[in-house]
Chains A and B, each alone.
Chain A
Amino acid sequence: MAEKTYNITCIVCPLSCEMRLMVKDGKIENIKGNRCRRGIDYARQEFYNPQRVLTTTVKLKGDRLPLLPVRTNKPIPRRMLKECVRYLSKIEVKAPVKLGEVIVSNILNSGANVISTKEVGSTGVYRKT
């Protein structure tokens, strides 16, 4: 297979090194442009298995607002982001919802749970406890 190059920007520290990866047969042969070792680890992770925390919303019934913000409790493979959002757009929950409550467990077999990032039924109206 032919050699290919990829550009990856390191986000580990504010220097934001622009790295060039030489890739042959799906394997990294060479990395250039990093100023330190951490850039190499980051580039490998980003090339072989980029992971992201997904944040989005699901439908909510019984509250002032029609949406509940949610996120995955750990990073999931980047390529699954769109699929998961599509799946979650069909989910509907009812108020009250606790912060951190599991909305979908093991979403699309990613190993991550989707949890609520908001306490609903308490913040909408301010009340003294």
Chain B
Amino acid sequence: MREIKADVAIIGAGPAGLAAALSAEREGAGEVLVLDRGEELGGILPQCIHNGFGLHRFKEDLTGPEYAQRFIDEVKTKRKIDVKLKTIVLEINQNKEVLATNSEEGIFKIRANSLVLAMGCREKTREMLHIPGSRPAGIFTAGLAQQWVNLEGYLPGREVVILGSGDVGLIMARRLTLEGAEVKAVVEIMPYPGGLTRNVVQCLQDFDIPLLLEHTITFIHGKDRLEAVSVAKVNSKKEPIPGTEKIIPCDTLLLSVGLIPENELSSLAGIEIDPSTGGPVVDERMQTSVEGIFACGNVVQINDLVDYVSQQGEVAGKNAALYALGKLEQPKGVINLKKGRNIRSLVPQIISAQGKVSFFIRVKNPEQKVKLVLGKSIFQQKNPIVKPNQMITWEVPFEDLRLNDDVKELEVSIRKL
């Protein structure tokens, strides 16, 4: 089998992988190799033609393709960054070997000094939801519909119901409406929407599309093609309330019920996965449980803003380069972070607490007038509101906190003010 050598090999050419490549190059890595199964650079961004990208990073309201282009332009000028598109990674292992294949080169092996995982995420499907009824055509994930409408140019249907109010579903409700389809309802089982308020307002309210909160789909009707769905209100245990059922005729059902980090490769390589994020456990340098393997972006946890993805990519790329060059110091003390009150997930999960650490946090329940607290109260920050659909970022200056060396565990929690 043919073998290639690389200083840093990066799997995935979305915003995470591109930021990692640029940052690894800047740090002095020899050869940086980026692999992606897609036909173009940018990951999911080319199909996200709506605006709302880069507000934090560039202080501009860009569309997905525009945001991606800024990184693509820079990558192209770097002699040391090489890209292989239409290339699928089949396997990775703890020795930083990558097995990949494409139609030109067949199966080949890459021996790298360090790896960056940037595989993004995939969408949950109907199989994961167990909705009863028939199995007609016309049921798709929202992201697949987005690919068809925005890249390939065809409408999935005329009368649409969307299950789940994640951002992808909301964006597609507007897109399909503008393209002439009728979106009859967005059905959400939780008492609050899954996506950003901006999207609820500008994608649903702007077009008078009903958002049915605390509702779910109880039955799917239709033989060959979808004909209708039954929708019912749910009680506090998320069970349908008898007698509240109604039938909505439609030819298309889009599922926007959540994203899951894409970690088959990571699990097979024996990298430790955090069940609460669905992604690898990482430290503040974005290093996974395997030395020399780093991870960033949606493969680590689902981010709602691309700006954070690029930020993590830069951290991962820089440290992957340092590791490849033999310059990355492994930490002295290691502190495990515990999820306290109202914390659903927390990245990084392990820190050495040497310098400033950026945390990315999700809460379980919405709450107002709260504070984020580290340990008993070593460090805190007030927050007027926290919501499950909005990731909280929190910078903690550990260099100023003077923790004792014997601290092995710290809890992060949300407390009422």
Contacts and interface: CB of A to CB of B under 8 A. Distances in A.
Given A9-B197, A14-B390, A52-B202, A124 B40 contact: yes
A60 B180 CA distance: 20
Given A65-B151, A69-B49, A69-B65, A81 B202 contact: no
Contact of A117 (B40, B66, B76, B152): B66
Interface string A54-84: 0111010000111101010000001001100
B405 interface: no
A67 B147 CA distance: 11
A128 B72 CA distance: 11
A128 B83 CA distance: 9
B41 A123 contact: yes
User: Quick one: which of A11, A15, A55, A124 has the most chain B CB within 10 A?
Assistant: A55
Contact of B39 (A64, A67, A78): A64
* Range class of the A interface residue count: 20 to 34
Given A9-B197, A52-B206, A128-B76, A66 B152 contact: yes
Interface in A96-119: 99, 117-119
Contacts of A126: 40-41, 83, 85
B46 A118 contact: yes
Is chain A's binding surface mostly helix, strand, loop or mixed?
Answer: loop
Contact of A99 (B40, B69, B390): B69
Contacts of B198: 11
B95 interface: no
Contacts of B102: none
Contacts of B51: 53, 55, 71
Contacts of B42: 123
Contacts of B200: 9
A93 interface: no
B85 A56 contact: no
A75 to B, nearest CB: 10
Contacts of A59: 153
Contacts of A119: 69, 72
A85 B179 contact: yes
Given A69-B49, A78-B206, A81-B178, A99 B66 contact: yes
A118 B95 CA distance: 39
B66 A67 contact: no
Contacts of A65: 151-152
Nearest to A129: B76
A11 B201 contact: yes
Interface string B160-198: 000000000000000000110000000000000000011
A16 interface: yes
Contacts of B65: 69, 117-118
Contacts of B202: 11, 52
A117 B178 contact: no
B77 interface: yes
B50 interface: yes
Interface of A: 9, 11, 14-16, 50, 52-53, 55-57, 59, 64-67, 69, 71, 78, 81-82, 85, 99, 117-119, 123-124, 126-129
| Closest A-B pairs by Cβ, 3 of them | A69-B49, A118-B65, A16-B197
20 contacts: A14-B385, A14-B387, A50-B206, A52-B202, A53-B51, A53-B61, A55-B63, A57-B150, A67-B153, A71-B49, A81-B206, A117-B49, A118-B65, A119-B72, A123-B41, A124-B40, A126-B83, A127-B76, A128-B76, A129-B76
Interface of B: 39-42, 46, 49-51, 61, 63, 65-66, 69, 72, 76-77, 79, 83, 85, 150-153, 178-179, 197-198, 200-202, 205-206, 384-385, 387, 390
Given A9-B201, A55-B51, A67-B150, 19 more contacts: A14-B197, A14-B387, A15-B385, A52-B202, A56-B178, A57-B150, A65-B152, A69-B46, A69-B65, A82-B178, A99-B69, A119-B69, A119-B72, A123-B40, A123-B72, A124-B39, A127-B76, A128-B76, A129-B77
